[in-house]
Amino acid sequence: MTLSDIIDPFARAQTPPPRTLGRFMGWALRGAWPVLIPAALFSILGGITEVIAAKLLGDAIDRALGSEASQIFGEHGLFLILCVAFFILLRPAILGLSAYAQSVMMQPNVFNLILSRVHRYTLGHSVTFFDNDFAGRISQKEMQTARAMNDVVTELVHSVLFALASVVGSVMLLGAVDWRIAGGLVVWIVAYALLIRHFMPKIRSRSKARAAARAMVTGQLVDTVTNIKTVKLFAHDEFEDQAALGAMGTYRDRFIAFGHVSAAFRFWLMALAGTLPVLLIGGALFYWSVGLVSAGDIAATGAVALRLAQMTGWVSFTLMGMYANVGEIEDGIRTITPAHTLLDAQDAAPLEVTDGRIEFRDVGFAYGRETGGVEHIALDIAPGEKVGVVGASGAGKSTMVALLLRLYDTEKGGIYIDGQNISDVTQESLRKQIGMVTQETAMFNRSALDNIRYGRPGATMDEVIAAAEKAEAHEFILELEDHMGRQGYDAHLGERGVKLSGGQRQRIALARAILKDAPILVLDEATSALDSEVEASIQSALERVMEGKTVMAIAHRLSTLSEMDRIIVLDQGHIAEQGTHDALLAQNGLYARYWSHQSGGFMSPESEAAE
């Protein structure tokens, strides 16, 4: 194991993140102390070496003045050798080790430790969390929080501890020269601390506002780019430009407000820093004039004064950056760390599917409202049964699917798979047992291979190809080529699969579902976005996917459900009818009216709503 591997940079957090700054940082950094402590110690040693350097300079001058010029190397040779060793060997070694600890051991590991924990927690939020925000804004908050905290920790170790060690050492050094000079430095440090105390809270709050505005700009831009085809189709370039400019204008205003307080802080800081050499060197000269200090003491005091004056500038700017980063961390905490609203039970066990029986037992769910969703859904889907679900828009079809996948918890009743309440099993195990193909097929901007293998990441290449062949996707995949020249299964599909036709995207999605080979299959409008010819061409692939599985298929196009074992007709959140295609037609009810409309018959108000 190398020094860069002392800690696991991807170690999982054992608890949810706290919502207060100090506790959140402790949560994010837990496990990082084996690299933080050595890095801090080397930084402190580095600060001490600066004081030792000033002391050696003063001693060298006093020894030179106390000896004949021709005797200086003879009388003080050992001292000079030690000085050379300090400046050429020891000081570079300490500062080099400090840089190594920070750049190799600490920064890469701490950043990834924070980001991995923040990202895992963000992924654990319910879909409602993501529905209520910009995708770009959420990802921006993740990166912003990790980067800002990494910068705070780095600067705390690299600059603040180094400076504190230098200041404490300087006070001790000047105390040995003359206590009154040391007292002057202490007074100056108090004034410096008061200046910091006055400005830093303002910098912190305005930085938080600036970070929030910047994230909104990112969210707005990502939202526009993600939906660029819609923007082009509606000729709304100007509209989107104005929306972006509005977000940018707010960000500009927040940035200017931050700039005002930043400029004021820098002015008063430089003014205060300018008084330090005057105070210390002037004091040393005065006490030398009355015989209380030596010339070497003046040199040591001057070196300390100039070093501290220089340090005051960069340390203060560092503190300003740290406080700005603290504001960004707090902004990220507010966005990312709300409590998860959909949790596994404490004693949740993995779902074990033996047959694939699905039961909706008097299920009700209205999204927390008085009406909407579904109510009193009682449905028993036998193992291997293929059930179609139809109904008007808003009848509750997608709600049933979302509840089956436990994207929401039922408000009444329960859903059972092979006798196990899905609220009592882990969400991950539940969703692993359900394959799904939707109308909006989710494609990653990755290779065709990666997109299919997403169904089962450990699948071999032969298994991927076999799944693609069953989905009738293999032939067109072999002809793919992206803008980087990658071909076939290595070709990237573009963001959300934009480089594929609707039929091709559906075939990739079917191949993914075939590869997953889950015992339960949900088809949510899987062919509604396709024309009839394309739909017919992949019907055989759909039949292969459904073989031997319990199937729940939602469709507006009723012809795709005519061969189902049973069809459920939803109306305003209730099961209005159920039976086979022929039986439902014989009832001459709601399903029959839908069928009549879609096959060219009379268009009733209900069937019109179904469209």
Are 356 and 417 contacting, i.e. CB atoms less than 8 angstroms apart? Answer: yes
Question: Residue 319 in contact with residue 192, Cβ under 8 Å?
Answer: no
Contacts of 405 (CB under 8 A, 6+ apart): 430, 431, 434, 436, 522
CA-to-CA distance for 574 and 556, rounded, in angstroms? 17
For 272-314, write each residue's pLDDT tens digit: 877 877 777 777 787 777 777 777 777 777 777 777 777 776 7
Relative orientation angle of helices 502-516 and 532-546, to the nearest 10 degrees? 0
Cα 335 to Cα 150, 211, 377, distances in angstroms: 18, 12, 36
**DSSP assignment of 74-132, as one string?**
HHSHHHHHHHHHIIIIIHHHHHHHHHHIIIIIIHHHHHHHHHHHHHHHHHTS-HHHHHT
Q: Which segments in the chain show pLDDT lower than 70?
A: 1, 70, 313, 440-441, 495-498, 526-538, 599-611
Contacts with 416 (C-beta within 8 Å, 6 or more apart), sequence order: 357, 358, 359, 361, 422
- Pairing type for strands 550-554 and 386-391 reads parallel
pLDDT at site 603 = 38
Assess contact for 541 and 471: CB atoms under 8 A: yes
If we measure between CA atoms, which residue out of 178, 191, 193, 165 comes closest to residue 280? 178
> In terms of pTM, does the model score above 0.85?
no
In the chain the domains, ranked by start, together with CATH numbers, are 19-336 (1.20.1560.10)
DSSP secondary structure of 466-499: HHHHHTT-HHHHHT-B-TT--BGGGSB--GGGTT
Helix axes 179-226, 161-177, angle to 10 degrees: 170
